[in-house]
Structure 1
Amino acid sequence: MLPEGRPLWPGRVRFRRAMVVLAVASFSAPYSIAQDTPTPNTTGTTSDRNGPIVSTSHPTPRTTPPGPKPSYDSSDCMRLTSLPIAKLQLELDGEDMVLVDQILKATSPDHGHVLFTHAPKEVMWWVRTMGSISIQWLLTAIHETNHAVNSTLTNCNAGEATYSFQGRIIKTEHKSGDTPRYAVLADALPPAFKSRQVGSRYPTYIERNGASPASSFAHLLEELVVYTGAAGVELSIVRSKDYKWLLPREIDAFDGNAGGMVDFMLYAVSYLKAVRISHPDAYARLQQQPNTLSVLQATWTAAEGTLRAIYDYTRLANLGGVLIVSRDALLTTYSDDFLAELDRLGIAHAPAGAWLTTYLRNPQ
């Protein structure tokens, strides 16, 4: 879900029409932070209150009115933890829902479609609120549904942070208050990444959301989980021949979930360093939470796999690439200083040299 005043389309968007420029913030906020409701659109195009209308490039079924946003309670716990999803009955209500089901089955059977099957009304509420099926709104729906599912799973487990990630439900030992609010990562984050320019994730995620009393390492980790999961769906759509039409013709390149994934890799290691130095008691508690660290490990491994797979589709690889990721953020994340933070917790990772022939090949 989105904090007040938050646009839906991620970080940076480059449009093919030179006169149209849009730069807005990134996808999502932790589920515990102040939220609002996006403006419904039922015209068959995608839009938000901060930018121009963007037409989709393929005729898709007109979406139906979204109705009230789904809510969750303890009665949903069994459904949300049911795996494999083949055990669950999914009622497809409308042509748009049939199409979403087909897209996610084909592009993300182990993540996006799992979330869709566990919380179909949530996914469709987001899609129908936006009024069309395209990469930005479908990925917004998956990203935000992951937050809603994680929040409910955490409540199902008495406040112990729980995540749905790539077809797994992972329960941790971490409760709110175990670690400091994640705004403390600013103490270790290099100044170059504290930009307040439009399109930067730092003001919304770190200065505002990270300063909330409800935030902690669990929420920071959740953003990495959600961005990484959705980045895999993003990759599958971008390289799919069958679903290229989900990319609006007007969009030349965009900073979406893949870009957010890289940013939160940097935020995660910055947090670990800041807490180790300034909050040793909290750091010691984190060291004694193997399940929490297992989520960090699983997500980090998946993020590196996605990074290897998406390079050819990024602007860093060629001018025809549609995905924007920050070379500087990746370079800083894989510095000796920050990799040492992963090493201290036993988190396996690729060496900095793994990116020398791709992302770190040419200075920007």
Structure 2
Amino acid sequence: MPRFLPAAVLASLCVLLLLRSGDVRSANIGDGNPDIKLRPPTKRRDLGTVPCSHLQKRVTGRISNQPRDAMAVFQLLRDANDDSTLKLFEVLPDEFMWWMRSLGEVSMFSLGVATHETAHAFWDIAYRCGSPLQYYFRGSGWPVERALTWTANYSIVAAGIPRQFKQARPGNRYQHYIEGSREHFANDLSVLLSELNAYVETANLEIKLARTKLFPSHRPDGPISINSNVGGSADFMLFTLAYLHALKSTDPDGFQALKGLPLFQAHLQRLWTSSEEMLCRASAYSDRAGGVLSIPSDALSHIYQSGFASILHDLNVKYAAEDSCLRFYWTSAPAKPALLTK
């Protein structure tokens, strides 16, 4: 039977919002593309009816027999040169367009939500279709051991995260995801990994959109600040580490079991390296550089300056050195060097 995660889906919608002066405002960000007229949304397709073969669909970079609005969105993604999102769209076009039509706009926000949630849908279908799990990332479905679903609820992050990160913060991801997951038994490490995966996958799209007219630069009523997938990636890097710390201290056997999951370790490495590279690229658009992307510098500083990331060594996962280009986020001067790994 498929496993549906309403808490995760609702939380995604709650936190991918436009923020200005710390307050949640309209989700409509950027100038958008008024030339693309979206159809009204129809009933969402039950993911339980999607054939498992869809996940192995041979992608061609072309679509046909799709409504005009879907063809236009596909062309927009092609123009943005984001092959990964193009392939995800081609595999699950109905799911992608359901999110676009439900939001009723073609903007950086709606494209981000559609990509983020369709990546989750890919995982959800793979979960139903049997072992192993699959995470859609950078154009491929990456297998991870199903044993990851036997791990502790990811609300144990609360035991491993410093107090200052539990307080009110832009986006409120801790409240939505960690506090909000306590009563949902299905929210184990496999789901936490799915969130990190979806945030990083979509953040890469947002950086691509920075070169298009969909990237917002201003609003008539003043400056804006966007806390979406780029900022969410940093938060979930912190949450993932907090989970590992909490698991190691409360369930040493459970943590030891993770060392016997090479596919999990490989995908965590894949996500971590991509996160670091993406955050270095995003620095030019960050609030610290006078841009519009709100990126939690305090989270990144804690990860790399306090030794919090060192637990990754136990899982053979490499991470950036403290003097890498990520130091832009906690020093007064931008960093120049390429990523250095420990």
Q: Which bin holds the TM-score, normalised by the shorter protein?
A: 0.7 to 0.9
SS at match of 1:204: helix
For residues 315 and 74 of structure 1, the distance between their equivalents in structure 2, rounded to whole angstroms, comes to: 43
Give the one of 111, 121, 136 matched to 2:84: 111
| 1:156-195 superposed matches below 5 A | 156-158=129-131, 160-175=132-147, 177-195=149-167
Give the one of 91, 94, 100 matched to 2:65: 91
Contact 2:32/2:106, CA 8 A, preserved across alignment:
no
**Residue 347 of structure 1: how far off its partner (Å):** 0.2
- Specify the alignment match of 2:205 in structure 1: 233
Structure 1 residues 155, 58: CA separation in 2 closer, same or farther (over 3 Å shift)? Answer: closer
- Specify the alignment match of 1:345 in structure 2: 315
The letter of the residue matching 2:122 is: V
| 1:123-138 superposed matches below 5 A | 123-138=96-111
| 1:237-256 superposed matches below 5 A | 237-238=209-210, 240=211, 243-247=212-216, 249-250=218-219, 252-256=224-228
The letter of the residue matching 1:73 is: G
Give the one of 70, 73, 80 matched to 1:100: 73
For residues 286 and 246 of structure 1, the distance between their equivalents in structure 2, rounded to whole angstroms, comes to: 39
SS at match of 1:13: strand
Residue range with higher mean Cα deviation, 265-274 or 329-338: 329-338
Contact 2:96/2:118, CA 8 A, preserved across alignment:
yes
Structure 1 residues 273, 344: CA separation in 2 closer, same or farther (over 3 Å shift)? Answer: same
The letter of the residue matching 2:34 is: P
Contact 1:23/1:199, CA 8 A, preserved across alignment:
no
Question: Structure 1, residues 230-279: CA drift from partner, whole Å, max 9, x if none?
Answer: 000001001x1xx2245385262201100000000011111111101111
- Specify the alignment match of 2:42 in structure 1: 67
Question: Structure 1, residues 117-159: CA drift from partner, whole Å, max 9, x if none?
Answer: 111111111111111101111111111111111110121124x
Question: Structure 1, residues 15-72: CA drift from partner, whole Å, max 9, x if none?
Answer: 5xxxxx6734xxxxxxxxxxxxxxxxxxxxxxxxx74866845422221111110223
Question: Structure 1, residues 152-209: CA drift from partner, whole Å, max 9, x if none?
Answer: 0121124x43211111111111346521001111111000100245631001100112
Structure 2 alignment gaps of length 5 or more:
334-342
- Specify the alignment match of 1:13 in structure 2: 18
The letter of the residue matching 1:66 is: P
Structure 1 residues 344, 226: CA separation in 2 closer, same or farther (over 3 Å shift)? Answer: same
Higher helix share: 2
- Specify the alignment match of 1:151 in structure 2: 124
Contact 1:255/1:324, CA 8 A, preserved across alignment:
yes
For residues 110 and 282 of structure 1, the distance between their equivalents in structure 2, rounded to whole angstroms, comes to: 37
Residue range with higher mean Cα deviation, 228-237 or 178-187: 178-187
Structure 1 residues 22, 69: CA separation in 2 closer, same or farther (over 3 Å shift)? Answer: farther
The letter of the residue matching 2:225 is: A
Contact 2:199/2:232, CA 8 A, preserved across alignment:
yes
Q: What is the RMSD computed on CA atoms of the aligned residues?
A: 2.6
- Specify the alignment match of 2:340 in structure 1: none
Structure 1 residues 90, 342: CA separation in 2 closer, same or farther (over 3 Å shift)? Answer: farther
Question: Structure 1, residues 89-133: CA drift from partner, whole Å, max 9, x if none?
Answer: 543311x21221012223353321111011111111111111110
- Specify the alignment match of 2:337 in structure 1: none
| 1:188-207 superposed matches below 5 A | 188-196=160-168, 199-207=171-179
Structure 1 residues 339, 192: CA separation in 2 closer, same or farther (over 3 Å shift)? Answer: same
For residues 220 and 286 of structure 1, the distance between their equivalents in structure 2, rounded to whole angstroms, comes to: 14
The letter of the residue matching 1:82 is: K
- Specify the alignment match of 1:359 in structure 2: 329
Structure 1 alignment gaps of length 5 or more:
16-20, 25-49
Contact 1:65/1:129, CA 8 A, preserved across alignment:
yes
For residues 225 and 162 of structure 1, the distance between their equivalents in structure 2, rounded to whole angstroms, comes to: 11
The letter of the residue matching 1:275 is: L
Question: Structure 1, residues 206-235: CA drift from partner, whole Å, max 9, x if none?
Answer: 011255211111111111100000000001
The letter of the residue matching 1:358 is: F
Percent identity between the two aligned chains: 28
For residues 199 and 59 of structure 1, the distance between their equivalents in structure 2, rounded to whole angstroms, comes to: 27
SS at match of 1:222: helix
Contact 1:108/1:232, CA 8 A, preserved across alignment:
no
Structure 1 residues 67, 356: CA separation in 2 closer, same or farther (over 3 Å shift)? Answer: closer
SS at match of 1:86: coil
TM-score by length of 2: 0.86
